Amino acid sequence: MQQKESPSYFDLFRVFFWMGLTAFGGPAMMAHIRKHIVDKKKWLDANTFDSGLALCQIIPGAIVMQLVAYVGLKIKGIPGAIVCFVAFGFPAFLIIFILSILYKHSKNISGVERVLSGLRVVIVAIVANAAYTFGKKNFHNWNDWVIAAIAAGLFLTKLHPALVLVAAALLGIIFTKEDSHQFQKLESVKTFRFFLWALASVAAGAIILFFVDKDYFTLATLMLRIDLFSFGGGLASMPIMYHELVDLFGWFNEKIFMDGVILGQVTPGSIIISATFFGYMHFGILGSLLATMAVFTPSFLVLMGIIPFFDKLSSYPQFNRVINGILCSFVGLLTIVTYRFAIGVNWSIFPIILTITAFVLLLRKVDVIWIILGGVLVSLIM
């Protein structure tokens, strides 16, 4: 496939802003981006795009955000990565920011509560489906199920997720029998100097926040941790976010947390944009801005830092085994979150039918946005 002439930064912003505005459907977002960039615009060849997708799937953070940064990096270098990253995420931020304001001022209205009550049931089906499909896609033998079961037990004890990930990595080294993650080599990109500069800037910003406002410092470092340990994409960040916001700090109860996840799910882009909602609900406008920037920063930095070393790392079997163990642990993680969300629902015939219907539709590859909208409609009718 012959590539077209390199686009301008304005063209990049315009195209990625539109894609960010229409990026619904979880994994379907990857195909959405590929269709525009590889097939339609021909700004990138298929092999380069697929190599970037493989890389983004094994590093922590929001996969779709890392992918658009990778595409921008390959097209226009570091400035292109920044333009694409910001343009793609900006529509999601605007939408959920508006929804957060509406929610904060209307959550006690009975009609809104009825809608959210129905959507809480749908979210149970969405998380359960994620656990099922993730395991089906990534598990290769019974050892993978063993790792997932052990991780689920550890998560159930409310052990800190970072410690569970370390345990899963060790289990991956011990139990993984074959190197199940093989990736096409990437062209070397000189980004490490930029990575060090950006990392130093983030550290300086955190130090300033520590002395200026301890609450904002806590919020920022919390969101940085959430994204940094989110192996498996944005949905995998939800259990970690739940642990931090509900169990550890107690800023929200389970109901408000689930509502934030729902709003993140109905917003285009990565579900990790729910951080904007939580930042606004607890800290106001500045909190929403800070939470948004902090929760996406590791996704960008990790990508920039690891690209120069990816070829070397992927050649080591131990590295692939560690990644396999961590990926397996998230099936256990999502299973426990499904259980926690489920016990927060007042179950009756209607919620059971709605959950089963949503789960079956997800298995049949129905776009999640239609399931969400269907949940809203059914909730209003009922």
- Tell me the C-alpha distance between 145 and 342, whole Å: 22
Give the pair of three-digit tokens for residue 61. 């953070």
At 263, is the secondary structure helix, strand, or coil?
Answer: helix
Average pLDDT in the chain = 82
Burial of 380 (0-12, 13-18, 19+ CB in 10 A): exposed
- Tell me the C-alpha distance between 229 and 240, whole Å: 8
Distances in Å between the Cα of 348 and the Cα atoms of 121, 340, 345 are 11, 17, 9
315 CB contacts (<8 Å, ≥6 apart)? Answer: none
CA angle at residue 267 from 264 to 270, to 5 degrees?
Answer: 65
Distances in Å between the Cα of 35 and the Cα atoms of 2, 23, 57 are 15, 12, 19
Q: How do the domains of the chain map onto residue ranges?
A: 109-381
- The pLDDT assigned to 197 comes to 92
Distances in Å between the Cα of 183 and the Cα atoms of 44, 53, 54, 314 are 18, 10, 6, 7
Question: Running DSSP on this structure, what letter comes out for residue 8?
Answer: P
3-state helix, strand, coil in the chain (%, to 5): 80, 0, 20
pTM: 0.69
Q: How many helices and strands, by DSSP H and E, does the chain display?
A: 16, 0
- The pLDDT assigned to 83 comes to 96
Q: What is the pLDDT of residues 283-315, one digit of tens each?
A: 999 999 999 999 999 989 999 988 877 766 666
- The pLDDT assigned to 254 comes to 85
Give the pair of three-digit tokens for residue 94. 């605007």
Give the pair of three-digit tokens for residue 224. 């940085």
Quickly list H helices, 176-270.
192-212, 214-228, 234-242, 254-266
What is the average per-residue pLDDT within 184-192?
Answer: 57
- Among 2-6, 46-50, 224-228, 378-382, top mean pLDDT goes to 224-228
- The pLDDT assigned to 3 comes to 54
Which of 352, 230, 244 has its CA nearest to residue 297? 230
> Which amino acid is located at 289 in the chain?
L
Question: Running DSSP on this structure, what letter comes out for residue 187?
Answer: P
Burial of 280 (0-12, 13-18, 19+ CB in 10 A): buried
For residue 137, pLDDT beyond 80: no
Which of 337, 95, 89, 116 has its CA nearest to residue 232? 337
For residue 183, pLDDT beyond 50: no
Range from 13-22, 24-33, 181-190, 199-208 carrying the lowest mean pLDDT: 181-190
For residue 106, pLDDT beyond 80: no
- Tell me the C-alpha distance between 352 and 172, whole Å: 36
- The pLDDT assigned to 184 comes to 45
Distances in Å between the Cα of 252 and the Cα atoms of 50, 122, 247, 277 are 39, 20, 9, 12
* Better-predicted residue by pLDDT, 368 or 71: 71
